Amino acid sequence: MAKREYLTRQEFEKLLTNRRGELPPAVLFYGDPFYLEEYRRRFKGELEKKGEVISLYYDEIDLERVKEIVTQPSLFGGGESLILLHNRFPSGLVEIAKGVKGKKLLFFYTGKEKGVEKKFPTAVRFFEPTLPELEQFLQRESQKLNLHLSPEIIQLLLERVEPLLYRQELEKLALYPEPLTLEIAKELIFPYREESFEHLFNRLLRGENLWGEIEKLLEYTPPHRLAISFIYHLRELLRVYLYIRETGESRLEKLYGYRLPPQIERERIETALSLKREEYLNLLETLLQLELKIRQGKARRETLLPLFFTLGEKKGSGFKTL
């Protein structure tokens, strides 16, 4: 039986313990997206405490620049650390990784996994987290936010929220001004996992440039699901828009029957009122057509990207046709 050439997450943690927390010079991480993001976040924070960290994502990756960063001496004697995130394995990266000395090269790879562990001096494969691991994560991170979650609320999060969005959901719950009961949590933790994209969609509708975030999200999220999520969110914003226009109310408690956290309510109202009725209708029509094309296999991920990336400039009026 052939010996596997990757480390599991647990084996890698043991290796770090034996090295007193010191990372190997070059490490490839691949596998489960939740752990990929958590370890990228973790090591970025740890390395920033020791010196400069350069992060290159997707099309920003230039092998000449990568080689220059990890092989040439630093101007001030410190060692820069380089974090890469990509869904392709750039040709030539393996040779660069073998020559890293005195610095760190961490490659978080989101592409096809077959045979990839043979390409790096140290490779770590993340498997899907178990329910106990996810539960421990929620408990640990909620404590950091001084957020008390009952076992029932944690179970609700496990059922309704994508692991990649746990942090965002916990931050939202931490904004609630009163003790969090299960009944309140059921109202705040949306019954559709797609609703966890709310803050991202609001930022898009306000015209923010989110190229990197959307492209990374599409590495883990099927395009049709993102389109459906956006449709659902636009319909909800249109509902808020019509309610405020018709009633003159400045709060949403009567509309929903419960109080939203102030920050979420304010953001939802501001975003809802930033669009005109015609823009809502144009955007919804475009997204519905796009969703149908994606489901029929007539459109791919690349079709969805331009819609999101030009949204801030054109809003709904520029998308009457696909």
Give dist(CA 149, CA 18) in Å, integer. Answer: 35
Please give the CATH number for the structural domain made up of 9-126: 3.40.50.300
Express each pLDDT in 9-45 by its tens digit.
999 999 999 989 899 999 999 988 889 989 999 999 9
112-147 tens-digit pLDDT:
767 777 778 899 999 989 999 999 999 999 999 999
CATH class of 197-318: mainly alpha
Q: Which of 237, 214, 208, 209 is nearest to 226 (CA)?
A: 214
Between CA 96 and CA 268 the distance in angstroms is 47
Which tens digits make up the pLDDT trace of 208-266? Answer: 777 677 776 776 666 666 777 777 788 889 889 988 988 888 888 888 776 777 878 88
Task: Name the DSSP class of 25.
Answer: S
Q: What is the pTM of this model?
A: 0.61
**Where exactly are the structural domains of the chain?**
9-126, 131-189, 197-318
